[in-house]
């Protein structure tokens, strides 16, 4: 088919514009990085610090991202209430953690003092996610794709304002675990204990999830359902039950992430799920939405990028308060991925089936 001159000009302008953006991003990063490194204002210990913090933060994003990616894999739907599920987990943990701290239990048993709130948060988050699925998503299955998306946004607002209604708009101080205060010396570098524990806990959770998805009967059924629901039903798989299990598993990870996040930031409120939710969504897209290892890698990459980015390339550009732009890095990354590689790092190209 012949294309008109106008169409060709338009194509040229669009691709020129996209290349312009690419070049701009690369030059911002390169020039900024050179600028920062020339001043030498950060020691290598500080850089390691940034990376460690990024990994801790990124492992939390990764845990949340798993829920987005699993639900997308099975329903081709973005569960926009997932960030709020994370928040409900943190709230659930807050009450039990406060009680356990006040009774002196956490000081006496720091391991259980960490574990019990995590399990509790996982349970609460899973239960709420199952309710959301049942009430807000299942009745809309088979409807055009926009409909469940709107319902998800509604569910997100509902959860936020229900929690605001119950617990007020203020912030609650999440009780710290004394045993996690201070830092450990590792290879001569002091690293905050809480960051090490958060990272390890998140990696353990991810390993558990990976094991479930790859090796258990329900996990294999999840993968089968995500490929083809009708064929899965022909195997005797109760598709609805597997979908609910997927929501519950993803939510349990988000609930656990809620506790880890609260241990790092020490405060919670009804709106706390919003930003980490978008970040984790970015991580899921970055890794290739629907791809489980991708979500884990995407979370870590985003966490590290966000953590070193401001000092590495924004400061070198002469931006005075680069940390204020930390969130902008994540959002810029999201737009860039969607523009240039919508299938993400590990994802295959979007096919008509997936898109």
Partner 1 sequence: MSMLTVENAHTYYGNIHALKGINITIEKGEIVTLIGGNGAGKTTTLRTISGLLKPREGDITYEDESLLKYKAHEIVYKGISMVPEGRGVFARLTVTENLEMGAYSLSNKQDMGNNMERVFNLFPRLKERRSQLAGTLSGGEQQMLATGRALMADPRLLLMDEPSMGLAPVLVELIFETIEQINKTGVTILLVEQNALMALSIAHRGYVLQTGEIVISDTAQNLKDNPTVQKAYLGME
The residues of the shown chain that bind partner 1, judged by CB under 8 A, are 217, 220-221, 223-224, 227-228, 230-239
CA 84 to chain centre: 12
In the bound state with partner 1, the residue whose beta carbon lies nearer, of 125 and 222, is 222
In the bound state with partner 1, the residue whose beta carbon lies nearer, of 83 and 219, is 219
268 SS3 class: strand
Give the shortest CB-241-to-partner 1 separation in angstroms: 9
CA–CA gap between residue 355 and residue 346 (Å, rounded) = 16
Identify which of 21, 38, 17 has the alpha carbon closest to the alpha carbon of residue 313: 38
In the bound state with partner 1, the residue whose beta carbon lies nearer, of 48 and 345, is 345
Would you state the structure tokens that stand for residue 209, as one six-digit string? 């999830």
In the bound state with partner 1, the residue whose beta carbon lies nearer, of 237 and 314, is 237
In the bound state with partner 1, the residue whose beta carbon lies nearer, of 107 and 348, is 348
In the bound state with partner 1, the residue whose beta carbon lies nearer, of 219 and 258, is 219
CB 196 within 8 A of CB 54: no
Give the shortest CB-251-to-partner 1 separation in angstroms: 24
Would you state the structure tokens that stand for residue 59, as one six-digit string? 């492992």
Q: Please state the φ and ψ torsions of residue 170, each to the nearest 5 degrees.
A: -75, 170
Give the shortest CB-75-to-partner 1 separation in angstroms: 17
First to last CA, the chain: 26
CA–CA gap between residue 133 and residue 248 (Å, rounded) = 9
Would you state the structure tokens that stand for residue 69, as one six-digit string? 């990616």
Give the shortest CB-300-to-partner 1 separation in angstroms: 23
Give the shortest CB-138-to-partner 1 separation in angstroms: 14
Give the shortest CB-142-to-partner 1 separation in angstroms: 12
Give the shortest CB-288-to-partner 1 separation in angstroms: 13
In the bound state with partner 1, the residue whose beta carbon lies nearer, of 183 and 240, is 240
What residue spans of 310-345 are helical by DSSP H? Answer: 326-340
Q: DSSP of 157-219, one letter per residue?
A: HHHHHHHHHHH-SS-EEPPPPGGG-SEEEETTEEEEHHHHHHHHHHHHHHHHHHHHHHHSHHH
Would you state the structure tokens that stand for residue 275, as one six-digit string? 């930003």
In the bound state with partner 1, the residue whose beta carbon lies nearer, of 212 and 224, is 224
In the bound state with partner 1, the residue whose beta carbon lies nearer, of 38 and 353, is 353
The 10 Å Cβ neighbour count of residue 263 is: 26
Give the shortest CB-228-to-partner 1 separation in angstroms: 6
Give the shortest CB-231-to-partner 1 separation in angstroms: 4
Number of H helices, E strands in the chain: 13, 4
Handedness of CA 282, 284, 289, 294 (dihedral sign): positive
CA–CA gap between residue 337 and residue 327 (Å, rounded) = 16
């Amino acid at each position: 088919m012949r294309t008109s001159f106008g169409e060709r000009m338009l194509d040229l302008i669009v691709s020129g514009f996209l290349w312009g953006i690419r070049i701009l991003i690369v030059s911002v990063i390169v020039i900024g990085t050179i600028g920062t490194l020339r001043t030498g204002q950060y020691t290598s210990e500080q850089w390691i610090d940034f990376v460690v913090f990024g990994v801790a933060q990124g492992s939390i994003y990764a845990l949340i991202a798993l829920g987005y990616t699993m639900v997308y894999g099975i329903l081709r739907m973005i569960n926009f209430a997932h960030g709020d599920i994370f928040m409900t987990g943190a709230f659930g943990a807050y009450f039990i953690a406060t009680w356990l701290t006040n009774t002196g239990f956490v000081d006496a048993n720091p391991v259980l003092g960490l574990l019990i709130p995590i399990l509790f948060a996982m349970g609460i988050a899973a239960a709420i996610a199952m309710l959301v699925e049942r009430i807000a998503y299942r009745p809309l299955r088979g409807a055009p794709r926009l409909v469940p998306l709107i319902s998800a946004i509604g569910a997100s607002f509902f959860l936020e304002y229900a929690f605001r209604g119950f617990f007020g708009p203020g912030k609650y101080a999440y009780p710290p675990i004394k045993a996690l205060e201070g830092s450990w010396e590792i290879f001569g570098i002091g690293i905050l204990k809480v960051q090490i524990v958060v990272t390890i806990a998140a990696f353990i959770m991810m390993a558990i999830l990976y094991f479930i998805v790859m090796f258990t009967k329900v996990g294999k059924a999840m993968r089968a359902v995500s490929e083809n629901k009708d064929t899965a039903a022909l195997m005797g798989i109760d598709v609805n039950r597997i979908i609910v299990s997927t929501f519950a598993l993803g939510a349990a990870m988000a609930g656990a992430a809620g506790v880890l996040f609260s241990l790092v930031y020490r405060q919670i409120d009804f709106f706390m799920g919003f930003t980490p939710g978008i970040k984790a969504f970015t991580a899921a897209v970055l890794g290739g939405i629907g791809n489980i290892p991708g979500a884990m890698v995407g979370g870590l990459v985003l966490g590290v990028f966000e953590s070193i980015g401001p000092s590495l390339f924004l400061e070198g550009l002469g931006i005075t308060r680069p940390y204020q732009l930390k969130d902008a890095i994540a959002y810029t990354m999201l737009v860039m991925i969607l523009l240039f590689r919508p299938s993400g790092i590990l994802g295959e190209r979007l096919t008509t089936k997936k898109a």
